[in-house]
Structure formats: C-alpha cells, structure tokens
Amino acid sequence: MTLTETPFCNFGEKAKNFNLLSTKKKNVSLNDIKGKNGTLIMFICNHCPYVKAVIKDIVEDTKHLENLGIKAAAIMSNDVKNYPEDSFENMKVSLNDIKGENGTLIMFICNHCPYVKAVIKDIVKDVKHLETLGIKSAAIMSNDVKNYQEDSFENMISFSRLHAFTFHYLIDDTQEIAKEYGAVCTPDFFGYNKNLELQYRGRIRELKNLKPVRKGDTDLHIAMKQIAESGIGPKNQIPSMGCNIKWFK
C-alpha cells in the first residue's frame, strides 16, 4: 500500500463518460447517475484503510447530498486478481489462478454455518500468514442457495467483506466442484503441495461447544507450513467437522 495524494485538477473540465457494471449486476453510465444540481464521482475500494476510516462519512454525506439534488457513484478500479478483497466476484477463477508457489489451500465454507462462523477469524488470520509462505488460498461455497438463502451470492459478498477476506470466495452453483473434491461439510479443508498433490484433509483447530480452543498455531497452519517446507503433510490428521453441504434435492 502506497499513500498517494490527489493532484491539482483542471476545474471546469467535463466529466468523462463511463459504462460500468454495478454491484447490482447492471451497467451504469454517467447519465444514469447525473444529478439535477450536481454529481459526485468517488474512486474507492474495499481493503484500503483510508477508505475504511471515512466510509461512514461518505455514506452519510451522499444521503444528505441527494436531498440537495446531487447524485453520487463510487468506482472501484483495482486489479481484483491481485486484490480479491476488492472484487464483488463477477468473474471466473480457475485453480491455476490461485495456485501457490509452495502450496494451495482450498476451503469449502458457507455464510450461515455455525462451525464456519466459530473459526472464520482463524481462517482469515491463517490465510494471511500462509501467503507469506508461498501458499495461496480460495474458499468455495457449494450449498443450495434456493433453500438456504443466507448462503446466496449477494450474502457471500457481504460475508467476505464483513470478515475482510484477502482470498477469493467462489460460488459452486452446480455443486460439481464439491462433488469432484469429495467435500462433505463446512468447513472442509484441502491442503495441496506445490505440485497440487493432496497432503492435508483435517480440521483447522479444536472446537468445544462451538468455541475454538486457541492454544498456539492452528492444526491447519502447522500442517500447511510443513507442506510448504517439505511438500509432505503430517501423518496424524484430525478430520474437520461441521454442517453437511446442502445438496440439491
């Protein structure tokens, strides 16, 4: 992250037109958001601490400005492949896109599962540290969203932002990926070495009454660190446990 100041502008210059996809999944142009008495264009993103520091002010100001006939729009221009936390995930991601130099972690999770919620902070923390070891990660949601609307694509976006994901959170809307991997529950972890050979299929850490037993590094972190260094996972692995994947009926 580099602190950058905005340059001096040519005041009076005409606004540049655009036609961009919105978080509501429709294209929006400059004319669509032009206000009667003025228009405000903001360039922001999800992960920047400077944006986070003033986001409440931005929301409050835009609401008040609308009463004055001024409409507003925010644009996100970051490279979402390198900054997935800035994506609202209207893109396809392949295994090669997230393959790490020393290993790859694939996690099957969802938004509503209490077992996922119990360890989501550990997941986010581990993923950040594992990336420094050359291990990249991605999370996949395979539940039936028709019958479990809390796991909808829109709620996936909210869940990933709420917990500041730094990894791709992907929807498996056909459930074919979960079946190919043999995933059965959330969370379910698949740890691969640099050759994409499965080396870990265990838990993240011990849970007691849905509360993490936090004593040192997680089982997942220890295992993936070993895989990054040796290419081989631990011999003793304790299976992950959680809610079953909600298969189509």
CA distance 200 to 192: 7
226 and 117 inside one domain = yes
The reply to whether 83 falls in a domain is no
Strand, coil or helix: 204:
coil
For the segment 174-187, the average pLDDT, to the nearest whole number, is 96
48 and 162 inside one domain = no
CA distance 62 to 64: 5
CA distance 165 to 160: 5
Residue whose pair of structure tokens reads 């405000």 in the numeric block:
40
Answer with the one of 8, 41, 75 that is the final residue of a domain. 75
pLDDT digits (tens, 9 = 90+) for 111-140: 999 999 999 999 999 999 999 999 999 999
CA distance 214 to 217: 8
CA distance 101 to 7: 38
62 and 104 inside one domain = no
29 and 105 inside one domain = no
Report the largest interatomic distance among the alpha carbons of the chain, rounded to a whole angstrom.
68
Task: List the domain range (segments joined by +) for residue 29.
Answer: 19-75
- Number of structural domains, the chain? 2
Q: Token pair of 180, please?
A: 């190919």
Q: How many angstroms separate the first and last alpha carbons of the chain? A: 46
38 and 105 inside one domain = no
β-partners of residue 27 are: 21
Of 148, 143, 160, 169, nearest in space to 247 by CA: 143
The reply to whether 8 falls in a domain is no
| Per-residue pLDDT at 7 | 79
90 confidence band (pLDDT: 50, 70, 90): low
164 and 240 inside one domain = yes
49 confidence band (pLDDT: 50, 70, 90): confident
25 and 96 inside one domain = no
Answer with the one of 29, 49, 75 that is the final residue of a domain. 75
The reply to whether 32 falls in a domain is yes
28 confidence band (pLDDT: 50, 70, 90): confident
